[in-house]
Amino acid sequence: MLHTRKIAVVATLLAIIIVGMTAFRPQDDKPKRNLKVLPKDISKDSLDHVMHGWAHALGVKCNFCHAPAQDSSSHRLDFASDAKPEKQAARNMYKMVGKINKKFFRNDQGVAVISCITCHRGSPHPEEVK
């Protein structure tokens, strides 16, 4: 009985310690967003899907448009930063594609006819039309 009581006390103390540690652990901050052309309420999964689609269409990785974080030791990207001009170029092209689709390719289903890959075809700098 004494052995069972010791185990119960140790288990209770461990539970209290674990709860205490999680209560005082700094909460992970929600990643900052800087959405200017995409919907502000876009889900993380949808945003990731769009970003991966753009990266695939241009044959690039995330660091093509996104600047590195200020903390150089982290090797992370600062997705909210506007430090790289490629990010603004992507925004401008996204708006341009939307206007082209709306003006020339009206589609009742809302499916885009023209997209990034139409011109880029896996290249960050598509060939100029000659």
Mean pLDDT (whole number) for 111-130: 82
Q: What residue has token string 């090797």?
A: 75
The residue that leads in pLDDT, 30 or 56, is: 56
> Which pTM does this prediction carry?
0.70
In order, the DSSP letters of 63-79 are GGTSEEPSSTTS--EET
Residue 86, both tokens: 């490629």
Mean pLDDT (whole number) for 18-38? 75
Relative to beta strand 67-68, strand 77-78 is: antiparallel
- How high is the pLDDT of residue 93? 95
| Run of H or E including 67 | strand 67-68
Contact of 93 with 85, CB cutoff 8 Å:
no
Banded pLDDT at 130 (limits 50, 70, 90): very low
